[in-house]
Structure 1
Amino acid sequence: MVDKLPVSPSPLLTAPGAVRAPDDSPDAGVAWHHGDPLGEQRSAERSAVVIDRSHRFVLAVAGAERLTWLHTISSQHIAALADGEGAENLSLDVNGRVEHHFVQTDLAGVTWIDTETGRGPDLLSFLTKMVFWAKAEPRDGNELAVLSVIGPDAPAALEGAGAAAPTEPYAAAALAGGGFVRRMPWPTDSSFDLLVPREQLTDWWARLTTAGAAPAGTWAFEALRVAALRPRLGLDTDERTIPHEVRWIGGPAEHGAVHLEKGCYRGQETVARVHNLGKPPRHLVLLHLDGSAEGRPETGDPVTAGGRTVGRVGTVIDHHEFGPIALALIKRSIPIDTELVTGPCAASIDPDSVPTEETVQAGRAAVERLRGR
């Protein structure tokens, strides 16, 4: 089930050609596309586009102990982030299931966090309750709004708009007039987020489009994200999802959200057990859908093989090159060439999307040695 909150329409919906995302979409309130959704995807891969993602929930954490405190209650190693550095991070429940996924940036004494619209208030509430005696002050930070600039020409467009493009993933630089620009490792190799003062959103959009970034909608962003095998909380996860299932393992250098060499945090026992001894029960794969079918599956629909449920479908999208595709959580035991069905569509697993599992875990190897094998 996708979490949604009422969102005020973005002022950028008045831009020429802007088509609002459906009301039942997690991207309601911003532009779905600007008249040519497939062309916008091609532009994102060949030149540069700017996408309105101002519906994302932003919060801020000030205080001298903000990083060490957040380090103890989340999955990423962020205690020693330097000014202008960032990471992806998770909040897990006691059983290691994913509750929140967020991107954080530490800049000028404040940690800025942006996350899914529907999960933001719960994340802010959780952080506020966990402060206790720490010198950390979580608050609503929605005075900043998110724009994404994507494509090989994105650095030039940023420079033309007056923003220097950081060169390292998650690195951030302050913007004149407030906010910052941050490099992201996905959905393409040349992706940037600008978190700008909300009252400057229209101005930054104009500056970026004048500098050569073509307007694009969230359809383009989502298509590129799915093709890059990057999950989205609430779409490609369910209430049972653990980090290993959806490729969120790794520190900032691995573009992950769960560091495997850090101290205790809620849910760590499950992460360590799966990493050292077991395998995740499901894994995230890319599905190719039968484009001749009437209709498409919906997020949360079962994926079946021979009438037996073997997984759930997540984000479903039309890609400019691959046609209809989807992310899905599939039982790890299902062979790659299994004929699948989801919704009205036949589906097949993209073999290149299946994670390799050739490495023997340290814990499993130790158990085998003790058994004399």
Structure 2
Amino acid sequence: MSDPVRDVRPLLRTGAVLGEGPDATVPEHYGAPLREQRHLLEGTSVVDLGQLELLEVRGTDARSWMTTVTTQVLADTPVGSSASLAVLSPQGRVEHMASAVVVDEDALLLVLDAGARAGLRRYLEMMRFAARVELTDRDDLRVLGALAPADSVLPQLGLPAPVAVWSEPWPQLAPGGIAYGPDPEDPVGAVLSVFEGAALTQLPWRSEHLAGMSSWEALRIADHRARSAREVDERSIPHELDLLRTTVHTAKGCYRGQETVAKVLNLGQPPRRLVMLHLDGSQDVPATPGGEVRLEGSEGKVVGTITSAALHADLGPIALAVVRRAVPLDAALSVQVLLGGADGESASMWIDASQEPIVVPRDHGARPATAKL
């Protein structure tokens, strides 16, 4: 279970409409979501990601120890380098995800989704044993998101030098990475800039400086990137979400859950797969996480669930969903959209959706013929 979301005040309150769920403490938009998304794409605005939590891992053994307890290789990586990592269960299911930056020779800074830090910290404390490391919650820091380092996006604002900057060349493979599907079309990537929080709150923010979370989520969905707070559930294994691309190093030494990763990679197929959906926008009704995905209309078989949804400035209404592996890649789907009833009871309608594959069946080559007895 996730821990309660921290009380974070938005950098700008004027015109701010707060989000929901894990993003309830930051603005979903400031009154013009599509215009804000354009500014973000043009590299003239940033996103307030104050809901994200930061954990510092410091000590002589910080990088070597994190290499042993996560899915990523961090030992001997250069200062300033970035990586994505995960912690898996013994059965190979995703328990924690984080973005990591090497801030100096003896320290890593982990950026986690809202409510995720406490659980990861508990696990790391259990695994510390004799390792020379210290774990510190860094609530003095705050994250801004953009398509480039925030201080270069808004040079006129007078942002201080960032404490750390995380980025990776998505969708290119990280060292030890393997793609489970095609690259997204026209990916834009993401850059997280970490600042001293007190310094950010003192700046003269205006609405043209900021885009809301609806813009950030639209670009993330179009980039085919899974998010811990949205796409991961108690059944998720990395292959289903294309996490082997950058988050799981498939050639490193032993780590918890490695047997499942190797077995599915080399011999099997993940039971589910992440897919991006292009939704019929003629009904002008937004999809929401939790809606059912069915084959061929409301009477069809339930084959998955919407995990994220947004309105993209160019692509229109889009969503991420986790569906069963057996769903054909070209199958026509219908998505459940939840409506509020006049009497307070929930109602729903169904809209058409087409697939853009993210995870596809892996070809393991020809299998040997079964011997006849």
Aligned residues between the structures: 341
* Preserved CA contact (<8 Å) 2:331 2:355: no
Q: Deviations over 1:28-59 (max 9, x none)?
A: 11111111101111222223211100110101
5+ residue gaps, structure 1, are: 164-174, 251-255
**Distance (Å, rounded) in 2 between the aligned partners of 1:138 and 1:61:** 5
> What amino acid is aligned across from residue 97 of structure 2 in structure 1?
H
Return closer, same or farther for 1:262/1:334 CA change in 2, 3 Å cut-off.
same
Matched, 1:5 2:10: no
**Distance (Å, rounded) in 2 between the aligned partners of 1:4 and 1:64:** 29
Match of 2:46 in 1: 50
* Preserved CA contact (<8 Å) 2:188 2:219: no
Match of 2:23 in 1: 27
**Distance (Å, rounded) in 2 between the aligned partners of 1:95 and 1:180:** 33
* Preserved CA contact (<8 Å) 1:336 1:349: no
Aligned residue for 1:315, secondary structure, equals strand
Aligned residue for 1:100, secondary structure, equals strand
Q: Deviations over 1:80-103 (max 9, x none)?
A: 222111200001111111111100
Match of 1:182 in 2: 166
Q: Deviations over 1:182-236 (max 9, x none)?
A: 3344695364221111111224674xx79xx731111100010001110111312
Return closer, same or farther for 1:48/1:3 CA change in 2, 3 Å cut-off.
farther
Match of 1:241 in 2: 236
Match of 2:112 in 1: 115
Return closer, same or farther for 1:342/1:3 CA change in 2, 3 Å cut-off.
farther
> What amino acid is aligned across from residue 309 of structure 1 in structure 2?
V
> What amino acid is aligned across from residue 21 of structure 1 in structure 2?
G
Deviates most, 338-347 or 80-89: 338-347
Give the one of 144, 147, 151 matched to 1:150.
147
Aligned residue for 1:327, secondary structure, equals strand
**Distance (Å, rounded) in 2 between the aligned partners of 1:216 and 1:155:** 15
Identity %: 34
**Distance (Å, rounded) in 1 between the aligned partners of 2:24 and 2:242:** 27
Q: TM-score, normalised by structure 2?
A: 0.83
* Preserved CA contact (<8 Å) 2:22 2:229: no
Aligned residue for 2:7, secondary structure, equals coil
**Distance (Å, rounded) in 2 between the aligned partners of 1:314 and 1:305:** 17
**Distance (Å, rounded) in 2 between the aligned partners of 1:357 and 1:155:** 41
> What amino acid is aligned across from residue 217 of structure 2 in structure 1?
E
Q: Deviations over 1:81-133 (max 9, x none)?
A: 22111200001111111111100111122110011112111111111111011
Match of 2:326 in 1: 333
Give the one of 233, 258, 262 matched to 1:272.
262
Match of 2:179 in 1: none
* Preserved CA contact (<8 Å) 2:43 2:146: no
Match of 1:95 in 2: 91
Match of 2:176 in 1: none
Match of 1:345 in 2: 350
Aligned residue for 2:73, secondary structure, equals coil
Q: Deviations over 1:305-325 (max 9, x none)?
A: 152121121101122222221
Return closer, same or farther for 1:320/1:271 CA change in 2, 3 Å cut-off.
same
Aligned residue for 2:57, secondary structure, equals strand
**Distance (Å, rounded) in 2 between the aligned partners of 1:182 and 1:88:** 9
RMSD: 2.8
Compute the displacement of 1:260 (Å).
0.5
5+ residue gaps, structure 2, are: 172-186, 337-348
> Which structure 2 residues correspond to residues 126-141 of structure 1 after superposition, within 5 A?
126-141=123-138
> What amino acid is aligned across from residue 163 of structure 2 in structure 1?
G
Match of 1:200 in 2: 199
> What amino acid is aligned across from residue 89 of structure 2 in structure 1?
D
Compute the displacement of 1:370 (Å).
9.2
* Preserved CA contact (<8 Å) 2:85 2:100: yes
**Distance (Å, rounded) in 1 between the aligned partners of 2:219 and 2:10:** 25
Give the one of 56, 59, 66 matched to 2:55.
59
> What amino acid is aligned across from residue 84 of structure 2 in structure 1?
E
Give the one of 214, 217, 226 matched to 1:219.
214
Give the one of 361, 364, 367 matched to 1:360.
364
